């Protein structure tokens, strides 16, 4: 296997294409497709060596099938929008080609994302003899693999998991989102949720927050939100009693979000404007700066990790963190992208390497990344730009996080 088709030429897709092109020993032939071929051609100019560009409407299964048959990839990496997961999975199923994505399916008309739709493809993919690898971005993705690594090598039993995500960067804009505005705002404005003692607990959006001490950044106000990797991790981490996801938002971001919600600009249902239906969220997306435009002036860091408590391999209580820190300016220098796009775009390249080199099969069926061998991924990801670190926490570390009653 040495041929890949990447669908999606946005900020993260651009990183994926460029990083594949930097690893020609693995990816000998690279195809990049998007709704606008101009976007693909722009990315191609940044890549080392030739990549083939194509136009495709990924919502159209027949069109994607035609493209797959023409390009004959060994793997399709879906870097398009979560709405398009199922059509692309259908196209892979029809053509007998392996599939990978970085975010789970989300219907356009409901701000809700879950794996149930994609998990239903299990028997179909097994019967077809092909593999679907779900959620191979950073979170979900690298964060899940941190959990699998901790379960196998650091803990006898993991009791609690806190996934913590901080962007401590500044892009100089009054208001912008670091990945697709529509997806970002839908994610933040939906109800929060966490898992404890075998059940899901709903909360009002952004109603719980605390100070989390992020490596190389320091304490930052973080909000409890729902994130998709929790859904698969509760199935695959044995003995787990609680899992939560925390993300930082600046006061400026929250202020703008409140105003946008109050005036109805985050609505995803159509409203009539001069006789035409308009979805406010989609209109807002057109007004905000595209994530691909933010990299040039971005300063600061991202700090993303997972905090575990449980019983270590020595039978004693253990608190441990695995994390990565990225500099926005370094990511931009290498790929022209800011660190949020970089941290999303690099892991699927390593996941594809794992598949092509035989570390992750291929084996027929649908898999979340924590179900696959973690060590070969962990051995490679640092070489590709996302080094990871492990340290044990003292009793006084992360005291604000641990005292939050949920």
| Same domain, yes or no: 229 and 376 | no
Q: Is residue 129 part of a domain?
A: yes
CATH of the domain at 397: 3.30.360.10
Regarding whether 146 and 127 lie in a shared domain, the answer is no
Same domain, 239 and 358: no
Predicted confidence at residue 179, as pLDDT, reads 65
Q: What secondary structure letter does DSSP report for 191? A: P
pLDDT digits (tens, 9 = 90+) for 50-81: 999 999 999 999 999 999 999 999 999 999 98
pLDDT at 388: 98
Asked if residue 347 belongs to a domain, the reply is: yes
**For residue 370, is pLDDT > 80?**
yes
Task: Choose among 147, 135, 131, 120: nearest CA to 321.
Answer: 147
* DSSP structure class, residue 266: T
Do 146 and 276 belong together in one domain? yes
Euclidean distance between CA atoms 192 and 384, whole angstroms? 33
Average pLDDT of the residues in 171-184: 75
Q: Report yes or no: 24 and 49 within 8 Å, Cβ to Cβ.
A: yes
Same domain, 174 and 319: yes
Tell me if 188 is assigned to some domain.
yes
**Domain match, 220 and 266 both:** yes
The answer to whether residues 322 and 348 belong to one domain is no
User: pLDDT tens for residues 119-132?
Assistant: 999 999 999 999 99
Mean of pLDDT over the chain: 94
Provide the domain count of the chain: 2
**pLDDT tens across 261-284, in order?**
888 988 888 999 999 999 988 898
345 and 326 in one domain? no
* 383 Cβ contact partners less than 8 Å away, ≥ 6 residues apart: none
Can you give 277-290 as a three-state secondary structure string?
EECHHHHHHHHCCC
| 163 and 258 share one domain | yes
Q: What is the pLDDT of residue 178?
A: 67
Query: What tens digit of pLDDT does each residue of 301-322 get?
Result: 999 999 999 999 999 999 999 9
Mean pLDDT of 148-153: 98
**Whether residues 75 and 104 fall in one domain:** yes
The model's pLDDT over 84-139, given as tens digits with 9 standing for 90+, comes to 999 999 999 999 999 999 999 988 776 677 899 999 999 999 999 999 999 999 99
Do 114 and 47 share a structural domain?
A: yes
Handedness of CA 263, 266, 270, 272 (dihedral sign): positive
- How many whole angstroms separate alpha carbon 397 and alpha carbon 406? 19
Residue at 19 is within a domain: yes
Residue 336 lies in a domain: no
Tens digit of each residue's pLDDT (9 = 90 or more) over 198-215: 999 999 989 999 999 999
Residue identified by tokens 């794992």 is 354
Domain housing 85: 3-138+341-381
- Residue 11 phi/psi, 5-degree rounding, is -60, -50
Residue 199 in any domain: the answer is yes
Q: What is the predicted pLDDT for the residue at 363?
A: 95
Domain with residue 92: its CATH number is 3.40.50.720
Helix or strand run (H / E) with residue 271: strand 271-273
Assigned domain for 154 exists = yes
What lies within 8 Å, CB to CB, of 16 at 6+ separation is 6, 77, 79, 345, 346, 348, 349
Residues 265 and 291 in one domain: yes
- Residues 3, 74: contact at Cβ < 8 Å? yes
| Residue 377 lies inside a defined structural domain of this protein | yes
Q: What DSSP letter does each residue of 38-65 carry, written as one string?
A: HHHHHHHTTSSS--EEEE--TT-HHHHH
């Amino acid at each position: 296997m040495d041929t890949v088709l990447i669908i999606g030429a946005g900020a993260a897709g651009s990183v994926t294409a460029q990083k594949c092109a930097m690893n020609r020993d693995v990816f000998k032939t690279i195809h990049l497709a998007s709704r606008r071929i101009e976007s693909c051609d722009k990315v191609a100019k940044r890549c080392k060596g030739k990549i083939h560009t194509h136009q495709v409407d990924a919502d159209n299964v027949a069109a994607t099938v035609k493209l797959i048959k023409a390009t004959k990839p060994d793997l399709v990496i879906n870097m398009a929008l979560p709405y398009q997961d199922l059509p692309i999975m259908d196209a892979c199923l029809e053509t007998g080609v392996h599939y990978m994505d970085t975010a789970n399916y989300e219907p356009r008309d409901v701000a809700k994302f879950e794996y149930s739709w994609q998990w239903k493809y299990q028997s179909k993919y097994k019967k077809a003899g092909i593999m679907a690898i779900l959620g191979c971005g950073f979170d979900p993705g690298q964060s899940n693999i941190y959990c699998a690594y901790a379960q196998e090598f650091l803990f006898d039993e993991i009791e609690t998991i806190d996934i913590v995500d901080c962007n401590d960067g500044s892009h100089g804009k009054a208001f912008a989102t670091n990945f697709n505005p529509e997806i970002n705002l839908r994610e933040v404005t939906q109800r929060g949720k966490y898992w404890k003692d075998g059940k899901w607990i709903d909360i009002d959006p952004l109603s719980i927050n605390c100070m989390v001490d992020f490596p190389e950044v320091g304490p930052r106000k973080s909000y409890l939100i729902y994130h998709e990797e929790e859904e698969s991790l509760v199935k695959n981490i044995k003995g787990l009693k609680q899992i939560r996801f925390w993300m930082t938002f600046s006061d400026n971001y929250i202020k703008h979000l409140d105003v946008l919600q109050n005036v109805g600009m985050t609505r995803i249902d159509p409203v009539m404007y001069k006789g035409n239906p308009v979805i406010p969220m989609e209109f807002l997306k057109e007004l905000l700066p595209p994530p691909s435009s933010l990299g040039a002036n971005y300063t600061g860091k991202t700090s993303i990790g997972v905090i575990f408590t449980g019983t270590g391999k020595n039978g004693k209580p253990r608190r441990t963190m695995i994390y990565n820190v990225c500099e926005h300016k370094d990511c931009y220098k290498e790929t022209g992208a800011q660190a949020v796009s970089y941290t999303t775009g690099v892991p699927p390249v390593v996941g594809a390497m794992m598949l092509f080199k035989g570390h992750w099969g291929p084996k027929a069926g649908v898999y979340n990344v924590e179900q696959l061998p973690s060590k070969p991924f962990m051995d490679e990801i640092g070489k590709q730009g996302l080094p990871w670190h492990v340290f044990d926490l003292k009793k006084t570390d992360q005291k604000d996080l641990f005292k939050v009653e949920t």
